[in-house]
């Protein structure tokens, strides 16, 4: 886990890098109702298995690059800069970088629940199976 010196400028900003996938997550703002993150998918391919956020809506806004999505039973689709993809609570989904270039996104989670803590601990090396047992309101396989 890597936290940057952003705190000196913006005290509520935290940044984490997944050492396995290269994914970078910056927590921009967090209230009980809304978690806003700036995310970079620096490598091609899938960063996570298909999963469900039982109680949270996930909203992806592509800032740069091209992202791919599979949401529920819908066919696979891509989205580019300026496009938004919304995953309703309880919907199985998968999101990934289908290109060789970097993808940058603004991701919002509603409500925030404990998602930032899940990401921090996952990227920090905690056991994924143990995290899934602990964070059942936030994520399920």
Question: Number of structural domains, the chain?
Answer: 1
**Is 46 within a domain?**
yes
Q: Does 81 map to a domain? A: yes
List the one residue out of 106, 93, 95 whose CA is nearest residue 53: 93
The CA-based diameter of the chain, rounded to the nearest angstrom, is: 44
Sign of CA dihedral 99, 74, 116, 49: negative
Q: What is the CATH classification number for the domain harbouring 127?
A: 2.60.120.10
Helix (H, G, I), strand (E, B) or coil at 121: helix
55-84 pLDDT, tens digit per residue, is: 999 999 999 999 999 999 999 999 999 999
In a domain, 1, yes or no: no
- Say what the pTM is: 0.90
Q: Would you say residue 139 lies in a domain? A: no
Q: Evaluate whether residue 141 is within a structural domain.
A: no
Is 140 within the bounds of a domain? no
| Contact in structure between 15 and 26 (CB atoms under 8 Å) | yes
What's the domain range around 90?
6-134
How far apart CA 42 and CA 105 sit, in angstroms, is 11
- Whether residue 23 contacts residue 7, with contact meaning beta carbons closer than 8 Å, is answered with no
pLDDT digits (tens, 9 = 90+) for 96-140: 999 999 999 999 999 999 999 999 999 999 999 999 999 999 999
């Amino acid at each position: 886990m890597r936290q940057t010196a952003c705190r000196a400028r913006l005290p509520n900003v935290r940044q984490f890098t997944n050492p396995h996938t290269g994914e970078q997550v910056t927590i921009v703002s967090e209230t009980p109702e809304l978690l806003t993150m700036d995310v970079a998918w620096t490598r091609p391919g899938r960063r996570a298995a298909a999963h469900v956020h039982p109680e949270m809506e996930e909203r992806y806004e592509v800032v740069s690059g091209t992202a791919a999505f599979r949401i529920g039973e819908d066919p696979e689709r891509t989205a580019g800069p300026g496009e938004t993809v919304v995953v309703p609570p309880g919907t199985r989904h998968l999101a990934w970088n289908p290109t060789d270039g970097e993808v940058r996104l603004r991701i919002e989670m509603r409500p925030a629940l404990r998602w930032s803590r899940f990401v921090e601990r996952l990227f920090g090396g905690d056991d994924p199976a143990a995290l899934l047992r602990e964070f059942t309101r936030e994520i399920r396989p």
